Amino acid sequence: MADIEQADTAESQDARKRLMRTGRISPVYFTIALLVVVGLLFYLGNRNFLSLYNLNTIISFSAILLMVALGQTCAILVGGIDLSVGGLVSFISVVFILLIEPLGYLAYPACLLIGVIVGYINGNILTRIKIPSFIATLATGGILTSLAYIASSGAGAPRPVNLSPANYHVVDNIVNGRLLNVSKVLYIGFAVLVLFYIILRFTSTGRNIFYVGSNIKMSWMSGISISKTRNIAFILSGAGAAITGLLISSVRYGGDPMVGNAYILNSIAAVVVGGTALTGGAGGVINTLFGAIFMSMLDNGMNVVGINQYFQQAILGAMVIVGVTLTFDRTKTPIVK
């Protein structure tokens, strides 16, 4: 029954006209507009919001969030999602502190490697055992959370793991402090941002992530290796989460096995609100940059203005739903499950 299926039916011409209107404006502009508007609202609520000190806080927090959000961007771009980032951030935050004692500066690359391995495992569960990413990463996230608990205190209740002052120099030299009056965290954040940007826009594997997310069947038929592309996407996600874990522990001089929980929601919100579509194949690193800044601003602003901290989570949930509704590519699936 496929005789005239391909014809330029009146329907598809209409759809095309609709797309031409909205498809021209990149979602980033909406995010920036949202940023400005909400920023002004917070300012009206509390003048201190736009103080230099506060802005500094916002930017620093957004840099840390950005790392895991960049990784999440890759997972979502390829058409999946990574719900294990929370567990991974927690796990790395604890393990990093534990590894500084024996490994010193090498704890940094070691933890990065762990993030890469976790991402690789996630990717393989997806491609080899063929389990949808949201279940697979839900499961691995749970495993990682429990590993974080064990690492922090064996069989007892989870508790923070503090860095012994003897080792403060390790984190101070790399992460803490300022260079040319800009906090080092920002430099690191910027460098990682540039790295992700280059990978996604200027390497063929990065480009393949977009192709696979946009049309997986076409990518397969064109000879792109779906499994390799997905593995790379989830490896990048693992790496991003690991960097966030490293930064958090460095800044706080200690690890906390519960710290990662909030990052699942925050990373997805940053990606989605930034304009990357959950359907995959559209969006990117710059979108997430503004999304992360927005999320950080929202978080900070709500505190400054005095909104209940827990209510904030509800607002985030609502934003995610709104963000998904606006960016979801409905031409892809006639049935929404």
| Positions in 282-301 near another protein (CB under 8 A) | 282
307-312 LR contacts (CB < 8 Å, sep 24+): none
Q: Which of 106, 135, 191, 194 touches another protein by CB under 8 A?
A: 135
Q: Which of 16, 47, 169, 178 touches another protein by CB under 8 A?
A: 16
Q: Which of 165, 166, 179, 202 touches another protein by CB under 8 A?
A: 202
Tell the smallest beta-carbon distance from residue 9 to another protein (Å). 6
Phi/psi-derived region of residue 209, left when phi > 0, alpha when psi is between -120 and 50, beta in every other case: alpha
Chain residues 213-242 in contact with another protein, contact rule CB under 8 A: 214-226
Stretch that binds another protein, among 37-45, 165-173, 174-182, 305-313 (CB under 8 A): 305-313
Stretch that binds another protein, among 29-37, 108-116, 175-183, 313-321 (CB under 8 A): 313-321
Q: Closest by alpha carbon to 61, among 200, 263, 236? A: 263
Number of residues that bind another protein (CB under 8 A): 89
Q: Closest by alpha carbon to 257, among 153, 104, 101, 109? A: 153
Q: Does 104 bind another protein (CB under 8 A)?
A: no
Stretch that binds another protein, among 41-49, 183-191, 236-244, 315-323 (CB under 8 A): 315-323
Quick one: tokens of 184?
């080092």
Q: What is the DSSP letter of 280?
A: S
Q: Is the separation of the CB atoms in 275 and 28 below 8 Å?
A: yes
Tell the smallest beta-carbon distance from residue 222 to another protein (Å). 6
Chain residues 74-103 in contact with another protein, contact rule CB under 8 A: 79-80
Cα four-point dihedral sign 317, 148, 248, 164: positive
Stretch that binds another protein, among 42-50, 54-62, 125-133, 160-168 (CB under 8 A): 125-133
Task: Give the nearer residue to another protein in terms of CB position, either 1 or 180.
Answer: 1
**Residue 180 three-state SS:** coil
In DSSP terms, which residues pair with 183 in a beta bridge?
A: 178
Q: Is the separation of the CB atoms in 119 and 224 below 8 Å?
A: no
Write down the residue that tokens 């690193």 correspond to: 285
Tell the smallest beta-carbon distance from residue 72 to another protein (Å). 14
Q: Which of 139, 174, 186, 305 touches another protein by CB under 8 A?
A: 139
